[in-house]
Structure 1
Amino acid sequence: MSSMIEEYRALVLRGELRADAEQAAAAERLDLLQRELRDDDSEGGWLRRLLGGRRQRPRGVYMWGGVGRGKSMLMDLFHNTLPISEKRRVHFHAFMQEVHGRLRDARRSESGDPIPPVAAAIANGIRVLAFDEMVVNNSADAMIMSRLFRALIVDEGVTIVTTSNRVPAALYKDGLNREHFLPFIALIEQELDVLGLNGPTDYRLDRVGDLDRWLWPLGDETTARLREAFFRLTDYPPEDAAHVPSCELDVGGGRKLHVPKTLKGVGVFSFKRLCVEPRGAADYLAIAREFHTVFIAGIPQLGPETRNEAARFVTLIDALYEHKVKLFAAAAVPPAELYCQPATQDGGSFEFERTVSRLEEMQSDSYMALGHGTED
């Protein structure tokens, strides 16, 4: 099996990757981690453990950066070329769902603190735990992560490798009772090497550059094209579509918004959920902060008879636009025809003109290349 760094350099030589100093540095660091893990399986490591020494726990790696900068690609290379069997790779959201399930079972079956035995069970037979897309969007996760990961890393000796769109200090930013989450950030910065990946190439644009972003009319063909865009953007195998994770997004005030599909900072919604159900600016701001890309299916043609839905849609697009969220949509008509007002009626269409302008700009390559978030 080729090493991590050999595989990475081969991709660069073949032109599949472009020169990127931060990406190359991350590949070198992951290659070093592989060698540290491999060396502990060597004769010297075996002899040390025979004489009573503990297995070494190399420092982990936290890779963060903008969309399309190669974080998942590096994780693929690391995991696929890591020559040990005691490894596990899992999407972070799916992992936390598993953790909460284990904690419920532990509370039912025994008394006392459930976190140590749950951490021990997760760590059983595992030396490396690799996460795709570490993100914290609800208080239930935030409240337990410090103790859970301290148990995994410090007590059980598991090495953590993870990707994220956020620097550690920005995780769960403005979240409820965030002070209870701060020890987790300190743990990450103490136990993992934090590597930024914000190089010049956005491979996301390469993956979706030939795909339309506003798809119409509604129907099976449009649905299939929107589906293709999602799987191409997230690098997720379409044949495993049933296992794309969902989540409950905390939108404030103790309220949650169900996101039926979410992966690598991409959220999928229906127009009905976002604009027919009673929602406000706080909901849309939570979505805009959480996801760098949003897919919306089933957008109908709007008009005076759906003025409430149209008003919500305007507020939604304003939030997405101001946070530079990328939009893929399946709609009944093109943006310019989205608000249809009979000639005999006044009001409504003028307010929608700005939304149409923003929707058209959001389809451009220049908008797609912008970083996620507000300028401040």
Structure 2
Amino acid sequence: MTPAEKYQQDLTRPDFHHDTAQEYAVKQLQRLYDDFVQKLPQSQSWWQKLRTGTPQKKPLTGLYFWGGVGRGKTYLVDTFYECLPTKRKMRIHFHRFMHRVHEDLKLLKGVKNPLEQVADNFSKQTDIICFDEFFVSDITDAMILGTLMQGLFARGITLVATSNIEPDGLYRNGLQRARFLPAIGLIKQHCQIFNVDSGIDYRLRTLEQAEIYHHPLDKEAEQNLQQYFLALSVEPRQAACQIDVANRKLSALAEADGIV
């Protein structure tokens, strides 16, 4: 199923409503999906591979969706990720991505050009990275991203990202922001930028329709909370898990990308 087909299917759901900005965004996802499928490697004989060699990787032009909270951005990136007909794809919250990068850098302490090695590690796993909630507030992340993104794009990795902020507003007023500007330039060079604000806050609409209080805490209350959780969250969902709050582990019935 393609992103356009998935969107048309979702429009038949009673809890899903047409949105002009979202429909336009889906068309852009479909364009990238078609380009990606066309670029999928065809099988070659060993003789063809010997003659052609390894082609220089060039990333497809990706997408950067930005807009206010609750505009359906996560739906867009999840729809695209689910439809991609490949295992060489990655969908990750940006904060978790940077946490992984820092962990890799710890393991590569003392290695020359460690960010190049980090980029190599990602290129061995994926051809396309889907970021949700691209946001930079930490100076260490800001200093890393320019070199890292250059390495990812140089290895042919395509980027699809969502953010509450347009690229030019990222890390605004941050320390040594001039050193982060190359990262912004790379995003604008390798991604088409789209604003998805439409005036519809999907999360708020769900919460407005929900009851504020549930008493007693019986089976019916649990079922209602489960319905709200499913309406607000997207895959992947994790049941019976633990979350980190101020360096403490708290048990949760379920969690999905910030919805607990």
Q: Secondary structure at the match of 1:131?
A: strand
Aligned residue for 1:179, secondary structure, equals helix
Query: Would the alpha carbon gap of residues 68 and 206 (structure 1) be closer, same or farther in structure 2, given more than 3 Å must change?
Result: same
Classify 1:114/1:240 alpha carbon distance in 2 versus 1 (closer, same or farther; 3 Å): farther
The answer to whether the 8 A contact 2:57-2:155 is kept is: no
- 1:136 aligns with 136
Structure 2: which 5+ runs fail to align? none
**TM-score normalised over the length of structure 2:** 0.80
The residue that corresponds to 1:189 in the other structure is 188
1:90 aligns with 2:121: no
- Identical amino acids, percent of aligned pairs: 30
Whole-Å separation in 2 of the counterparts to 1:152 and 1:62: 16
Q: Report the equivalent of 1:165.
A: 164
Deviation sequence 1:285-343 (CA, Å, 0-9, x none): xxxxxxxxxxxxxxxxxxxxxxxxxxxxxxxxxxxxxxxxxxxxxxxxxxxxxxxxxxx
Q: What residue number does 1:118 align with? A: 118
> Which letter maps to 2:87?
S
Secondary structure at 2:76 match in 1: helix
- CA displacement, residues 263-300 of structure 1 (integer Å, 9 cap, x when unaligned): 8688x9xxxxxxxxxxxxxxxxxxxxxxxxxxxxxxxx
Instruction: Decide whether the 8 Å contact of 2:129 with 2:160 is kept in 1.
Output: yes
Task: Tell me whether 1:51 sits opposite 2:52 in the alignment.
Answer: yes
In structure 2, how many angstroms separate the alpha carbons of the residues matched to 1:130 and 1:70? 15
- C-alpha separation in 1, matches of 2:130 and 2:11: 24
Contact 2:98 2:141 survives alignment (8 Å): yes
3-state secondary structure, aligned to 1:111: coil
The correspondence of residues 326-345 of structure 1 with structure 2, limited to 5 A, is: none
Quote the Cα distance in structure 2 between the aligned partners of 1:116 and 1:37.
24
Separation of aligned partners in 1, 2:246 and 2:88: 28
Following superposition, the deviation at residue 167 of structure 1 comes to: 1.0
> Counterpart of 2:105?
103
Give 1:82 shift: 0.6
Q: Distance in 1 between matches of 2:65 and 2:244?
A: 21
Q: Are 2:77 and 1:78 aligned?
A: no
Amino acid at match of 1:95: F
> Judging changes above 3 Å, is the alpha-carbon distance between structure 1 residues 183 and 265 closer, same or farther for their aligned structure 2 residues?
farther
Query: What TM-score, normalized by structure 1, do the two folds share?
Result: 0.57
Aligned counterparts of 1:96 and 1:220: Cα–Cα separation in 2: 38
Deviation at 1:72, TM superposition (A): 1.0
1:246–1:112 distance in 2 versus 1, CA, 3 Å = farther
Aligned partner of residue 130 in structure 2, secondary structure:
strand
Q: Is the 8 A contact 1:3 1:31 kept in 2?
A: yes
Aligned length: 250
Counterpart code for 2:84: L
Show the counterpart of 1:371.
Answer: none
SS of 1:239's partner is strand
Q: Alpha-carbon deviations, 1:172-195, whole Å to 9, x = none?
A: 222222222121111111111111
Distance 2:102 2:204 in 1: 36
| CA distance, structure 2, for counterparts of residue 45 and residue 173 of structure 1 | 48
CA contact (8 A) 1:40 1:55 kept: no
CA contact (8 A) 1:132 1:162 kept: yes
Matched to 2:207, the amino acid is V
The verdict on how the C-alpha distance between 1:152 and 1:80 changes in structure 2, with shifts beyond 3 A counting, is same
Distance in structure 2 (CA, Å) of the matches to 1:3 and 1:240: 32
Which of structures 1 and 2 has the bigger CA Rg? 1
Distance in structure 1 (CA, Å) of the matches to 2:211 and 2:151: 46
| 8 Å Cα contact 2:75-2:234 kept in structure 1 | no
Going from structure 1 to structure 2, the CA distance change for 1:240 and 1:175 (only over 3 Å counts) comes to: farther
Task: Report the aligned-residue RMSD.
Answer: 3.6
Structure 1 residue 55: Cα displacement: 4.5
Q: Which residue of 2 aligns with 1:346?
A: none
Give the C-alpha shift of residue 59 in structure 1: 0.7
Of 60, 63, 79, 1:61 maps to: 63
The alpha carbon displacement at 1:205 in A equals 2.1
Q: Considering Cα pairs closer than 8 Å and 6+ residues apart, tell me whether 1 or 2 has the greater RCO.
A: 2
